[in-house]
């Protein structure tokens, strides 16, 4: 297994926050493992929330990942303890450079040895890894959005996304109509992208969630279009939430998620390939009988010709 993580493209260093979910360990036990690895000071900041501050990779927040925890209801702490096996613990990092992501990845082995369990440890354990890469220029951000839409079915197939997560509503595919619109009527700027996206979906529950980015771009426009009952936090990042957490598997690492995202950015940087995929999408998916599996195979063929299939290794 390689230990290097290719830096995100750009003339300037782009950082990326990481979130990983798993079961099998309490927040305190998780934080103890991280402290042994990275040093720092443990601070309990709320019910089922611990921060490890002052580490070599910044602050690491460890929390029981459920919206119920945030409502501060009576007897809630006791209730959360009862469902600990199903509700994941989540580690949330500060924005990291590629070397720091590699350092964080080195903690997954000790967490696995301590008992952390990933998505494939049980039929109800649909746990994920989220990446929050900083956006590049506006033009390149638009290319990345289009590239993701064209690559999504291939990413799902090649990564063998866990059946439980596929059945959950949190990582739904982008609508086919959205991808077609991105190809036939590519938005000129991110505000136009926001309007176009809203014509096809207003949900955060997709493999690539763009709503935090859209709110950052223009909060007034965002609030006029999207329901903000979920209190979406604005941030200048993508929110890539498709990859599985398979932390208990010895040969797995954050490379799976990182390389999936790097492939999206690599394709976005190849305008000829991006155009070829767009034309192929219209040819393949224009029929109402078109199947996503057929499109995934088509994408794999184009990536192989471009020498990019190994980018996910």
Tokens of 165: 């997560």
**What pLDDT shows up at residue 125?**
64
Could you tell me which CATH number the domain at 16-134+241-253 has?
3.30.310
Helix (H) or strand (E) holding 221: helix 219-225
**What pLDDT shows up at residue 88?**
86
**What pLDDT shows up at residue 69?**
46
Helix (H) or strand (E) holding 55: strand 49-55
**What pLDDT shows up at residue 183?**
98
CB burial readout 7-26, b (16+ within 10 A) else e: ebeeeeebbbbbbbbbbbbb
Global pTM exceeds 0.85: yes
- List the domain boundaries for the chain: 16-134+241-253, 138-237+262-312
Give the span between the Cα atoms of 195 and 190, in whole angstroms. 9
**What pLDDT shows up at residue 71?**
47
Q: What is the chain's Cα-based Rg?
A: 20
pLDDT digit of tens for each residue in the chain (313 aa)?
A: 445 899 999 888 999 999 999 999 999 999 999 999 999 999 998 888 999 999 999 999 999 875 444 544 443 455 555 555 567 899 999 999 999 999 999 999 999 999 999 977 654 567 999 999 999 999 999 999 999 999 999 999 998 876 666 566 678 999 999 999 999 999 999 999 999 999 999 999 999 999 999 999 999 999 999 977 668 999 999 999 999 999 999 999 999 999 999 999 999 999 999 999 999 999 999 888 889 999 999 999 999 999 998 655 4
Contact present, 299 and 155 (Cβ < 8 Å): no
In whole angstroms, what separates CA 44 from the centre of its chain? Answer: 26
């Amino acid at each position: 297994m390689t230990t290097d993580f290719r830096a995100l493209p750009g003339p300037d260093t782009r950082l990326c926050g990481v979130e990983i979910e798993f079961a099998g360990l309490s927040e305190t036990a998780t934080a103890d493992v991280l402290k042994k690895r990275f040093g720092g000071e443990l601070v309990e900041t709320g019910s089922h929330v611990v921060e490890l501050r002052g580490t070599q990779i910044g602050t690491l927040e460890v929390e029981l990942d459920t919206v119920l925890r945030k409502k501060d209801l009576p007897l809630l702490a006791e209730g959360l303890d009862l469902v600990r096996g199903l509700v994941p613990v989540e580690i949330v990092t500060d924005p990291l450079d590629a070397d720091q992501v590699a350092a964080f990845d080195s903690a997954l082995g000790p967490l696995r040895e301590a008992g952390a369990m990933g998505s494939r440890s049980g039929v109800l354990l649909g746990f994920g890894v989220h990446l929050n890469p900083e956006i590049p220029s506006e033009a390149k951000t638009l290319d990345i959005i289009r590239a993701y839409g064209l690559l999504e079915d291939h990413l799902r197939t090649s990564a063998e996304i866990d059946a439980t997560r596929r059945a959950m509503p949190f990582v739904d595919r982008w609508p086919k109509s959205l991808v077609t619109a991105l190809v036939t009527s590519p938005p000129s700027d991110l505000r136009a992208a926001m309007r176009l996206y809203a014509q096809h979906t207003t949900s955060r529950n997709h493999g690539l969630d763009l709503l935090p980015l859209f709110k950052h771009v223009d909060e007034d426009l965002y609030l006029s279009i999207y329901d903000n009952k979920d209190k979406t936090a604005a941030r200048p990042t993508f929110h890539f939430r498709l990859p599985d957490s398979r932390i208990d598997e010895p040969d797995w690492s954050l490379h799976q998620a990182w390389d999936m995202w790097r492939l999206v950015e690599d394709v976005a940087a190849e305008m000829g390939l991006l155009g070829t995929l767009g034309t192929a999408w219209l040819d393949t998916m224009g029929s109402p009988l078109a199947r996503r599996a057929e499109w995934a195979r088509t994408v794999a063929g184009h990536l192989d010709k471009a020498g990019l299939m190994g980018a996910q290794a």
